[in-house]
Amino acid sequence: MNASTPICLTPRRGMSRGDAAKYICVSPTTFDKLVSKGQMPGPISIGARKVWDIRKLDQAFDELSEEVPAIGPDPDNIEEI
C-alpha cells in the first residue's frame, strides 16, 4: 500500500449506494433491483445525501440468505435424479 493512501479506521454506520452494493458483493444495478423488490432496505436521507444503514443491510442480507433455495435436484424426488 502506498504511504500516501489514506486508511479509514473509523467504523461507518452509513454507506453510499456504491459502498452498500460492494458491501453485499453485488453491482449497483443489482443492488437497486434488490431495493426495489424490498429485499434490501432503502436509504435514509441526511440532507441531500442518501445513506444506507449498515445494520439494516446486515439484517436484510441475513434474511435474503434464508430465502435462497438449495441448488441441485431434490433428493426426495427420484424423477429429478
Q: Lowest-pLDDT range, 18-27, 46-55, 60-69? A: 60-69
Look up the pTM and report it: 0.69
The answer to whether residue 4 is domain-embedded is no
Is pLDDT larger for residue 27 or for residue 81?
27
The pLDDT assigned to 57 comes to 96
The answer to whether residue 18 is domain-embedded is yes
Region of 72 (left: φ > 0; alpha: ψ -120 to 50; beta: rest) is left
Total domains, the chain: 1
Encode burial over 47-62: b for 16+ CB neighbours within 10 A, e otherwise: eeeebbbbeebeebbe
41, 3 Cβ separation under 8 angstroms: no
13, 22 Cβ separation under 8 angstroms: no
Domain that holds residue 25: 14-65
The answer to whether residue 46 is domain-embedded is yes
The answer to whether residue 35 is domain-embedded is yes
The answer to whether residue 42 is domain-embedded is yes
The pLDDT assigned to 81 comes to 47
The answer to whether residue 73 is domain-embedded is no
The answer to whether residue 50 is domain-embedded is yes
Largest pairwise CA distance in the chain: 61
